[in-house]
Structure 1
Amino acid sequence: MKNFLIALLFLLSFYQGSAQKMTTLTYFQNDTLKLDLDLFLPAKTSGKKLPLLLYVHGGGFSGGERQSGHSLCNYMAQNGYASATITYTLYAKGKKFSCDGVLSEKIKAFQYAVNDLWLATSFFIKNSEKYGIDTSKIFIAGSSAGAETVLHAAFWDFKTMNLYDNSLPAGFKYAGLVSGAGAIMDLNLITKTNVIPMFFFHGNGDKTVPYGTAPHHYCKTDASGWLMLFGSYSIYNHIVNLNESGTLYTFCGGGHEYSGYLFEKEHHTILNFLNDVLAGKKFQKHEIVPTGKRNELSTAYKFCD
């Protein structure tokens, strides 16, 4: 019995020592809006400033919740990163966001989410000493709508698209990004000057967010909500042509259900990418992942045959 109690106390002390600290913080508030985030920090630190990962959940800019990023953020904290999952403005809630939507409203949904991510970024830059953040090592990651958010946050012109009395340091760049089934409105936004290391994963049978280049939801050209998007495959090839670092996981035949797959089930792939970036490694890798599903949209991707 005595040995059992000793063993139990040891396990409890080990768990408490390795448990990560989670704190809910308000990163922005005005008369009409209050935005929170959940920050996970390593239980033990070396005293050095920490790299930071900011996670943006999916949900079509109309749903979802920041708690969906808890398992990823906790894992990152266990491995020496500060990590936060954010609440953001769900501008499309109650609005049409598919082919029968209004194009300007769809773009506003992107813009509000991007601005909230910029606000969260500013919060940590301003409070970097308090939370021990290395502001040169801020990464962003997101799934679906969250992936579209991080892509536009990284490459939209801040002065043009900023909605709030907010600022980021001149010349600020994210250290890298992870996009799960995301896309960008204009491939030309990504240039040799502003490109950063990127990690994409996407099903090439995605009927919601195109894997290659196609309209959002594959809308017909006369649709009121028609919006051309450049998906993971198109962006990856673009950054390879720029001779910059990128990784793409293609889930052959997979649909939009794979938009959160690595965030939910293979956290180590995200960690490996971030560690490689911080180590200064150069990489261009396309990983083919069989799913047993048939791609109904296209046979153009011969690597999935």
Structure 2
Amino acid sequence: MKHVIFLFFLSVIWNLSSQTKTTFVYSVKRSDTLKLDVYTPRRIKKSEKLPALLWMHGGGFFEGKRNDRNNVKLCKYASRNDYIGISISYRLLRKGTQSKFGCNCSKQEKLETFKQAVIDFLDAADFIVKNANALHIDAQYIIAGGSSAGAEGSLNAVYLREYFVDSLEKYNDVKFAGVFSAAGAVVNADYIKKTNAVPSVLFHGTNDQLVPFGSAPHHYCKPESPGYLMLDGSEVIAKKLEDLETSYYFNMVKEAGHEISAVPFMDLKKVFHFFERTILNDEIIQTKIIKTKSP
């Protein structure tokens, strides 16, 4: 009996450490050395290539870390389910500023912050595409994802590349197969077109006071404030994808706020199953889940 228990604990330990983590520098920009952590299944075959989840953490562009507990947990989950999980750092341009990313941060500063976040995300994607063979990544199946500020950065990188990036040819080889957003928004959903629409997972609370659920000012700033900037949230993005007959999984939580930006661990099985069906199997699925915040 003791041997059975011992073998059981060995099995548990193996499952908990069934991936390897490797850290790379993907870009150096002035004083910022930008890194990414790659979580690979330990037993991957030498010639095997897997889809990848490229994840951008939240934190209002002034805080947060790529190796926070939940980001690590998400990437490990991905690697246990036949993905390469990748969590990136990026420039926190609002760190140390008095206005952070609120209503006293000017519209111009916000747009510049979004732009540089998009560039950092695309640079990370370009790095993994260029090193796809060594990283066991199928470059045709990269899912962009993020939470809160990271969701804004990754969504804008997927859908507004031409809006934010001057030298588009640099990223000719970077293509995204899908997007996974937890409380994100884009600057203008009109940039979502048939040519760039991809299967999208969208989680959002209807009462989010930071990142709008529909079309509304960022942080609900008043028109006379410096930081007044209209954004299109998950509701608008989902409607756009519906009109374009593109797959989406829209999980809206009535009466919930920005807490929905947390990684939806309870729903990850459904999320990855959605990507399997829509990206790997090329099915068209449009699903809207409506929940109400628990008291």
Residue 168 of structure 2 is aligned to residue 168 of structure 1: no
Shift of 1:222: 1.1
Name the aligned partner's letter for residue 270 of structure 1. Answer: V
Pick the aligned partner of 1:247 from 238, 246, 249. 249
Residue 281 of structure 2 is aligned to residue 271 of structure 1: no
The correspondence of residues 47-66 of structure 1 with structure 2, limited to 5 A, is 47-66=47-66
**Aligned-partner Cα distance in 2 for 1:34–1:11:** 39
Structure 1: gaps spanning 5 or more residues: 294-305
Residue 93 of structure 2 is aligned to residue 91 of structure 1: yes
Shift of 1:7: 4.3
**Aligned-partner Cα distance in 2 for 1:26–1:261:** 25
Shift of 1:162: 4.9
Name the aligned partner's letter for residue 24 of structure 1. Answer: T
Residue 27 of structure 2 is aligned to residue 28 of structure 1: yes
Shift of 1:185: 0.6
**Aligned-partner Cα distance in 2 for 1:140–1:220:** 31
Counterpart residue number, 1:71: 73
Range 3-12 or range 54-63, more displaced: 3-12
TM-score (norm 2): 0.91
**Aligned-partner Cα distance in 2 for 1:186–1:30:** 28
Name the aligned partner's letter for residue 28 of structure 1. Answer: S
The correspondence of residues 200-215 of structure 1 with structure 2, limited to 5 A, is 200-215=202-217
1:30–1:64 distance in 2 versus 1, CA, 3 Å: closer
The correspondence of residues 1-305 of structure 1 with structure 2, limited to 5 A, is 3-5=1-3, 7-9=5-7, 11-12=9-10, 15-16=13-14, 19-29=18-28, 32-46=31-45, 47-68=47-68, 69-95=71-97, 96=99, 97-158=101-162, 161-162=165-166, 167-169=170-172, 172-262=174-264, 264-276=265-277, 277-292=279-294
Deviations 1:135-188 (A, max 9, x none): 00011110110110111101223595258x982235x42000011111111111
Counterpart residue number, 1:303: none
Corresponding residue SS for 1:67: coil
Shift of 1:268: 1.5
**Aligned-partner Cα distance in 2 for 1:185–1:228:** 7
TM-score (norm 1): 0.88
CA contact (8 A) 1:23 1:39 kept: yes
Corresponding residue SS for 1:266: helix
Name the aligned partner's letter for residue 19 of structure 2. Answer: Q
**Structure with greater Cα Rg:** 1
Identity of aligned residues (%): 35
After TM superposition, which residue ranges in structure 1, 4 or more long, deviate above 4 angstroms?
none
1:10–1:247 distance in 2 versus 1, CA, 3 Å: closer
Structure 2: gaps spanning 5 or more residues: none
**Aligned-partner Cα distance in 2 for 1:257–1:10:** 36
